Amino acid sequence: MAFRLTKKQIVKEILKCGKDAPYFINNYCRISHPMKGLIQFKTYPYQDDLLNDYNDFRFNVILKARQLGISTITAAYCVWFMLFHKEKNIVVLATKFSTASNLVKKVKSMMKNLPDWMKIATIDVDNRTSFELSNGSIIKAVPTSEDAGRSEALSLLVVDEAAHIEKMSDIWTAVYSTLATGGRCIALSTPKGTGNWFHKTYVGAVDGENEFNPIELMWDVHPERDQEWFQKETKNMSKRQIAQELLCNFNTSGDTVIHPDDLTWVHGNVKDPIYRTGYDRNFWIWDKFDSNNQYLLTADVARGDGADNSVFHILKLNTMEVVAEYQGKPTLDMYSKILFDAGMEYGACLMVVENNGIGISILEKLVDLGYPNLYYSMKATHEYVEAHQGETMDRAIPGFTTSTKTRPLVVAKLEEFIRNKMLTTYSSRLYHEFKTFIWNNGKPQAMRSYNDDLIMAIAIGCWVKDTALQVNKREVEYKKAMISSMYKSDSIMNTTIKGMQGYSEKVQEKQQEFKEQLVQYSWIYKG
């Protein structure tokens, strides 16, 4: 093209390219095609819109589907930004250092394949993961660490696959100050669940709570894709993969312990409490005490470092409906009194307190206050025993012990209850914890910087309901049957209980009389 242009025309063309990034890229940038080799970059309308957003907004956060060429168009923008602006400092971050390096290589390849007359700045320093132009502009890939870009003023920060970068919140905190002098940021990614830096940044941008401009690019923005393409592409993909790779869905893309479909069901039950009470108004009540029902209170105690909360749930046992919930940061004395009052308000219900760490201090205070119905368990076995027994048994300890052995058991029980729609919760606070409760190397735990206090408290409640209390109930029924059969009738002792083979509804007169005589000895019955 150069031989057909006069010097005046070349200057005019360069000036036009410097003002219009889409024009420059569509006319002079060439990219490597896997089948066709080096070809002219021809952008799609959504890519042109993206380039305009890069110019119009300092901070852009892009929620995207895969294979839309967003990394490539971003690399082309970097070419334009470096070539037509002096002394620009660009840093590229990605999930892997190799991924960041590949984006830098794309920039270098486009730069080298420009027409000679368009190379108004040439590559002076050329390294494997960075290069510098003669106009002082530089681009480099850096490892993802809290020190990324900390010591230098940045003109542009590109974060590729931002949702997948660990400790991105810490990195952003460190690097934000380096953008203070007018620096720009482009953060792009497919979703990876909720609660991470990318999710919070994108949602915050949509709600107008931060400086970022939110951009969503679904699979169908590509003009060459239709439903037939989508069906073919997703044929062998899981629901979670489809959500992550193509649908830009945060809620169903993450590796949450509770299945995304079940999370949707949980969210459908969320509603405001009828009362917000307590000194901090953090005691939420959805249903008041009913003497016709039995209740269970399960509590988790904060570690004391200020990072987590002391929490408890009150469940209606027959329906496993959460009727009340507390989450706050009271002192130990205050929390003990809150627990005592809440338990007594709901009929002196069975109270299960996690006894790890300072939880034992709470239990000691509850004993001093005279709470009548504390949960006790046997050391090592976690077998439930009643308070009047536990107080006199050497191997019995108050509360529930969460350990590496019991934690996966109670979490599995919680998942089972939710999956089978056996637990009803109304709390928005609990729902938000569910969204950030994930599998991390095979272990169920909260995402970094998030808590799972409400989750563990409710999980213990499900476990106690379905194991300890059920076993206790069966023991009670069996002992009742034994007492009722402590006489001989036709040389037959009947110890069957409802549900057992051989059970009969027919009760003879002598049996009934004997039961009536035993009423005065009801204290013998366990439970």
> Chunked in runs of 10, what are the mean pLDDT values of the chain (527 residues)?
72 93 93 82 94 95 93 95 94 89 93 92 90 94 71 88 88 88 93 86 91 94 91 83 83 77 91 93 96 96 80 96 96 95 96 90 93 83 61 73 86 92 96 87 80 94 85 51 48 48 49 52 43
Do the domain assignments include residue 12? no
* 73 & 145 share domain: yes
* 375 & 449 share domain: yes
Do the domain assignments include residue 28? yes
* 232 & 305 share domain: no
CB-based contact 2:89 (threshold 8 Å): no
Do the domain assignments include residue 71? yes
Any idea which residue has 């002992």 for tokens? 479
The Cα 307–Cα 413 span in angstroms is 26
* 326 & 451 share domain: yes
- End of a domain among 187, 222, 251? 251
* 54 & 88 share domain: yes
pLDDT at 77: 96
What residues does 133 pair with on adjacent strands?
123
* 325 & 390 share domain: yes
pLDDT at 147: 60
CB-based contact 36:142 (threshold 8 Å): no
- End of a domain among 225, 251, 277? 251
* 232 & 285 share domain: no
CB-based contact 477:417 (threshold 8 Å): no
**Residue 102 CB coordination number (10 Å):** 17
Any idea which residue has 């852009």 for tokens? 60
Do the domain assignments include residue 213? yes
The Cα 107–Cα 139 span in angstroms is 9
CATH of the domain at 428: 3.30.420.240
Identity (one letter) of the amino acid at 369? L
Do the domain assignments include residue 499? yes
How many residues are there in the chain? 527
CA distances 250 to 60, 112, 195, 210, 436, Å, are: 18, 38, 9, 19, 11
Do the domain assignments include residue 23? yes
* 232 & 287 share domain: no
Do the domain assignments include residue 5? no
Any idea which residue has 């893309």 for tokens? 253
The Cα 465–Cα 413 span in angstroms is 10
* 47 & 86 share domain: yes
pLDDT at 75: 95
* 385 & 454 share domain: yes
pLDDT at 372: 92
Do the domain assignments include residue 478? no
* 375 & 329 share domain: yes
Q: At what angle do helices 70-83 and 45-56 cross, to 10 degrees?
A: 50
Full residue range of the structural domain in which residue 496 is found: 484-524
- End of a domain among 251, 268, 291? 251
pLDDT at 523: 43
Residues 6+ apart with CB under 8 A from 101: 128, 129, 141
Helix (H), strand (E), coil (C) string for 276-333: EECCCCCEEECCCCCCCCCEEEEEECCCCCCCCCEEEEEEECCCCEEEEEEEECCCHH
* 79 & 192 share domain: yes
Give me the number of domains the chain comprises.
Answer: 3
